[in-house]
Structure 1
Amino acid sequence: MMNNNKRYGAWWLRMAALYLVVGVSLGNYMGATHDFGLRSVHAHVNLLGWASMLGFGLVVQQLADTLSPRLVALQFWLHQLALPVMLSALAALMRGNTAAGPLVGLGSVVVGVAVLAFAANVWRGTGAKLRAA
């Protein structure tokens, strides 16, 4: 039976692949139309979607036995729920809908909390390895 952290690691990798497709597609659209008004969204899709999720997945897979399963799950779900809200609101904001600003802020804060959960979990999990060395 697969360690639950390993399962989350696999889901991080799957979501990273999905965000890679979205990021490349958005980049292709912007290039084809010469409309770069969503470049900020494109950058966030690639960084917080593709690159960060790939990193999270690889780290969670590698450190599965030392990370807190609760923090792994918390981080995964906070990130997965908040990032689409943030990206959608950012796209609306970039297209002139100023009412989307607070949703960008809310999504950003929740993604930030997810990143802090990851950092705390890695710090905690690797601390045991350092003490054992």
Structure 2
Amino acid sequence: MTGAARKFFILALLYAIGGMLLGLYMGLSQDHSQMPVHAHAMVLGWLMSGFFAFFYHFFPEIGRSRLANVHFWLTTASGLILLVSLFFVLSGNIGLEPVTGISSMAFFACFLLFAWIARPVFSRAA
């Protein structure tokens, strides 16, 4: 694995470790108030980053592109800000709700960027 594929795969593993640690903490403490953070880490972090990694691995010419690298860094930044701000919002710091909202929209924009990056694959299949 090289390029964006490798970066997204490492990111997916980090999200999985963090999400599982949070899940273990919630289970052991019987405090499940951070369940949305756990779910976001596992779905947006582990699953989506893993999917991006395998996409870029199967299409290495796309994965080596400058746009794939931009996709990685924007997705990483918006995802981490989303999770950290959501953690603090759920801990009672509602002043960070705008940060959570903006980072959620940025993460969605990153997915739209991925759809744009992946569009040549669909035209090849036709």
Q: Which residue of structure 2 aligns with residue 31 of structure 1? A: 27
Q: Which residue of structure 2 aligns with residue 109 of structure 1? A: 105
Q: For the structure 1 residues 89 and 66, does the alpha-carbon distance in structure 2 shift closer, same or farther, using more than 3 Å as the test?
A: closer
Aligned length: 126
How big is the shift at 1:71? 2.2
Backbone CA RMSD of aligned residues: 1.6
Q: Provide the C-alpha distance between the structure 2 equivalents of 1:57 and 1:80, rounded to a whole number of angstroms.
A: 13
Structure 2 counterpart of 1:123, one-letter code: R
Counterpart of 2:91 (choices 66, 90, 95) is 95
Q: Provide the C-alpha distance between the structure 2 equivalents of 1:67 and 1:93, rounded to a whole number of angstroms.
A: 35
Q: Provide the C-alpha distance between the structure 2 equivalents of 1:18 and 1:67, rounded to a whole number of angstroms.
A: 20
Counterpart of 1:125 (choices 100, 121, 126) is 121
Q: After TM superposition, where is structure 1 displaced by more than 6 Å over at least 4 residues in a row?
A: none
**Deviations 1:66-115, CA, capped at 9 Å, x for gaps:** 46813211211111111111111101111111101000011111111111
8 Å Cα contact 2:11-2:49 kept in structure 1 = yes
Q: TM-score, length-normalised on structure 1?
A: 0.88
8 Å Cα contact 1:38-1:91 kept in structure 2 = yes
Q: Which residue of structure 1 aligns with residue 39 of structure 2? A: 43
Q: Which residue of structure 2 aligns with residue 55 of structure 1? A: 51
Q: Which has the larger radius of gyration?
A: 1
Partner SS, residue 50 of structure 1: helix
8 Å Cα contact 1:12-1:53 kept in structure 2 = yes
Q: TM-score, length-normalised on structure 2?
A: 0.93
8 Å Cα contact 1:68-1:125 kept in structure 2 = no
* Structure 2 gaps, min length 5: none
Partner SS, residue 65 of structure 1: helix
**Deviations 1:7-52, CA, capped at 9 Å, x for gaps:** 1101110111111100110000000000000000000000111010
How big is the shift at 1:65? 2.1
